[in-house]
Structures are given as C-alpha cells and as structure tokens.
C-alpha cells in the first residue's frame, strides 16, 4: 500500500515551495501517492472557509501532511474564525498535534547569513521541542476591571502532569536519536507551572538513564542561545517559551528560508511545514527559497513514514547544493525556486 501524503499548498509562496518539496519526494523512489487540497486564504476564496471539511477529511485520511504556508493581508478584516491562520490551528487541534519539532542547523557555507559571528554560528545544530497545545495560549482568558477600577487582562498559564509528561517523552526520544543531551527550559524559580514541569520532567527521566538531562531558566536560555548555541543538542520547553526561543534560534541559524518544522501527535501522523510564512512580498515571482519546504519533506519521511535513510539522502543533497554555491535571493544569490530545487534533485 502506498503512503498517502496530503499536500496543502496554501497561500503566497506556499504553492511554489510545496511543489518543489513534492518533486523531491517523488524523486526518492518511495511508494507514495499525493492528494492536494486548498487551505488558508485560497480555501476561503474557493469554499468560504480556511479549513473546509474536504481538506480536514483528507488530512485525517493521509499518513502525513505537507503544508506550504497560509495568510495574506487581504484577509485581515475577516472575523477571526475565517482568517487563514485558523486553518493551521484547526489542523493541530483536530489531529492532536501537541509537539513541535524545530531543528536549527547552520549549513556549511551559510556562516555569513547568521545574526551571530561566523565561528559561533557554525556550531549551531540543535532541535527545539516545543509543546503546542497548552500553556498560556489555551488557558482561561478574560478582560475585566480591577478592584481599583483599571482595565485588566488575564491569560491563565496552566499545564497538567500528563501534558508535561508526553512532551517530555518526545524530548527524550528526540535526544536519543542525536547526542543524548536534553535541556529542559522553564522558569521554575517563579512559576508554579514550571515547578510542575520540572518535577514531571525529572520523573520521566527515570525511563531515559542514557540521556543527560539539564535544566535552564528561560531567561538564561535566551542568553545562552546567542552566546554559545553549540552547547545545546535538544531543548524541550512549553508553548510560550518555545515560541520565542525557536524564532530566536532560527535567526541564529541563518535564513528563514532554510528551516523546516514538524508538528507531531500520539500517532505517527504529522504535519510538516517550513517555519516561514506566505511571504506575500515575493509571492508569484519564483524567488522563494524551497529548502525549508524540502527539508520539511525530509522530516516527513523520517517521522511519519519511518524512512530515515531517504530523509538523510534529501538532507545531504540540500547540504551539497548549498556547499556547491547554489543560492536563492535570500541567501545572496540569484537562482529561482525551480533552479534551486533542480540543484538539490541533481544531488539526490
């Protein structure tokens, strides 16, 4: 039985980069079938909703989802539920995708693209494992008036032990596939949620005696990420801290056009997307860097289809193309999206 890949191209440069990622997957020679469906603004235009039932049904049927990007200023005036970004939130929720994996690695030859000094940047090779469905984003929210009559806003930060344990396990398992070093990031000196987080991570660690566990406060982690990012192998953290630290790590690692991500749940199914958005400023011009989408396709093979060998071949082909001087505009070159993908395909 071939594996079914749902391709959800979306808006802006999403379709341009997703098409190249699909070509690369097709070139692996694996037994894959592809079905495409509209998502985001494109789906709103076609069907009146950013995540139409047919798109959700395809995502539920598929073994894995290759996602492009969604969003455009044209939809900013719509009510919240109809905005393109709701599609990705809806997919995460419906599919139970609670773990976000974001590798940040500097490819050889891109040292100059990092926000850090080249010799510091060269050492970056880490994965941030961010919890995706809890924390302050999903706790009780309200607006009101304080006892002094001042306007007040509240967002409840909350985690339960099961939520912490399952993301901690993803952190430990990820560390096992790498250098077996896990740094848990929290703010346990101030927050009750973080004290629970730390207790549970230490309990889960009993099942992973082979992984070296350390703890770091989030403020220190932010500092260490720019001071000496080479010290990190895998970082596991909550939704809010992970949101901030993963954007920070991506700028340390060079262009936004190079970095993939995976959203995983309890089953093998996952959603794979570049960390960049729909980039309306360059959409339709064939300028977008397809590497982030292609590396997301590699993560899809590794995490959802258990095809680590083919994933490694794709990653090596991207590294070889970059080392050989292939560059799109964001990397200071002039190759088109298609030409960049051709260089990678040539190395496969």
In the annotated binding site for substrate, the residues are 92, 102, 130, 219
Residue 260 or 277 having the CB closest to Mg ion: 277
- Residue 279, binding choice from ligand ATP, Mg ion, none, Cβ under 5 to 8 Å by partner class: ligand ATP
Nearest distance from C-beta of residue 295 to ligand ATP, angstroms: 11
Minimum distance between the CB of residue 309 and ligand ATP, rounded to whole angstroms?
Answer: 26
Instruction: Kindly tell me which of 73 and 206 has the beta carbon lying closer to ligand ATP.
Output: 73
Assigned token pair, 51: 């995540």
Q: Which residues are annotated as a binding site?
A: 92, 102, 130, 219, 243, 247, 277-289
Name the minimum Å distance from CB 91 to Mg ion.
17
Which residues are identified as catalytic? 137, 187, 219, 243, 247
Annotated binding site for NAD(+): 277-289
- Nearer Cβ to Mg ion (84/277): 277
At its nearest, how many Å lie between Mg ion and the CB of residue 277?
5
Whichever of 170 and 249 has its CB closer to Mg ion, that residue is 249
Q: Could you say which residues in the range 277-316 bind Mg ion, by CB under 5 A? A: 277
Structure tokens at 72: 């455009």
Specify whether the CB–CB gap between 348 and 313 falls below 8 A.
Answer: yes
Token reading at 286: 């064939």
Looking from the CA of 21 toward its CB, the CA atoms found within 13 Å total: 37
CB of 251 to ligand ATP, least distance (A): 11
In the bound state, the residue with its beta carbon closest to Mg ion is: 277
Q: What is d(CA 158, CA 170) in angstroms, rounded to the nearest whole number? A: 19
- Nearest alpha carbon to residue 278 among 32, 18, 2, 100: 18
Task: Output 120 or 279, the one with its CB closest to ligand ATP.
Answer: 279
* Residues 16-35: x where in contact with Mg ion by CB under 5 A, - otherwise, as a string: --------------------
Sole residue written with tokens 């709103």: 44
Q: What pairing do the DSSP bridges indicate for beta strands 64-69 and 234-237?
A: unpaired
The CA-based angle 97-17-107, given to 5 degrees, is: 85
DSSP string, 223-280: HHHHH-GGG-SEEEE-HHHHHHHHHHHHHHTS-GGG-EEEEE-SSS-EEEEESS---G
Phi, psi (5° rounding) for residue 103?
-75, 140
Residue sitting closest to ligand ATP (CB): 277
Instruction: Name the one range near Mg ion by CB under 5 A: 124-132, 159-167, 270-278, 339-347.
Output: 270-278
Nearer Cβ to ligand ATP, position 289 or 304?
289
Choose from Mg ion, ligand ATP, none: what does 129 bind? Cβ within 5-8 Å by kind: none
Q: Is 153 exposed, middle or buried (0-12, 13-18, 19+ CB in 10 A)?
A: exposed
Instruction: Give the integer Cα–Cα distance in Å for 333 and 325.
Output: 9
Q: How far is the CB of 332 from ligand ATP (least distance, A)?
A: 11
Residues that bind ligand ATP (CB under 6 A): 13, 17, 71, 256-257, 276-279, 281-282, 288-289, 292, 330
Taking alpha carbons only, the member of 5, 22, 17, 6 closest to residue 68 is 17
Residues annotated within the binding site for Mg(2+) are: 219, 243, 247
What is the size of the binding site for Mg ion (CB under 5 A)?
Answer: 1
Would you tell me which residues interact with Mg ion (CB under 5 A)? 277
């Amino acid at each position: 039985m071939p594996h079914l890949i749902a391709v959800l191209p979306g808006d802006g440069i999403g379709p341009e980069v997703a098409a190249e990622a699909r070509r690369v997957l097709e070139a692996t020679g694996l037994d894959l079938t592809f079905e495409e469906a509209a998502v985001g603004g494109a789906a709103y235009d076609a069907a009146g909703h950013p995540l139409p039932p047919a798109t959700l049904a395809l995502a539920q049927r598929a073994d894995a989802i290759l996602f492009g990007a969604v969003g455009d200023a044209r939809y900013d005036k719509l009510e919240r539920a109809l905005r393109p970004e709701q599609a990705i939130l809806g997919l995460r929720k419906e599919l139970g995708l609670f773990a976000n994996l974001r590798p940040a690695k500097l490819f050889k030859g891109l040292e100059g693209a990092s926000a850090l000094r080249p010799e510091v940047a060269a050492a970056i090779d880490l994965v941030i494992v961010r919890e995706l469905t809890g924390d302050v984003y999903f706790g009780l929210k309200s607006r009101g008036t304080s006892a002094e009559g001042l306007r007040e806003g509240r967002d409840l930060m909350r985690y339960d032990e099961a939520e912490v344990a399952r993301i901690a396990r993803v952190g430990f398992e990820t560390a096992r596939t790498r250098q077996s070093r896990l740094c848990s990031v929290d703010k346990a000196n101030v927050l009750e949620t973080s004290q629970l987080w730390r207790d549970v991570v230490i309990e889960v660690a009993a099942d992973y005696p082979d992984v070296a566990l350390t703890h770091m406060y989030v403020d220190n982690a932010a500092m260490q990420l720019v001071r000496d990012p080479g010290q990190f192998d895998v970082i596991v953290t909550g939704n809010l801290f992970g949101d901030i630290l993963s954007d920070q790590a991506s700028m340390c690692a060079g262009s936004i056009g190079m970095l993939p991500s995976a959203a995983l749940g309890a089953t093998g199914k996952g959603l794979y997307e570049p960390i960049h958005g729909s980039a309306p400023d360059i959409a339709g011009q064939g300028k977008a860097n397809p590497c982030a989408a292609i590396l997301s396709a590699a993560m899809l093979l590794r995490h959802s289809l258990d095809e680590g060998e083919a994933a490694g071949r794709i990653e090596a082909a991207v590294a070889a193309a970059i080392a050989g001087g292939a560059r799109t505009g964001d990397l200071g070159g002039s190759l088109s999206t298609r030409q960049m993908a051709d260089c990678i395909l040539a190395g496969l």
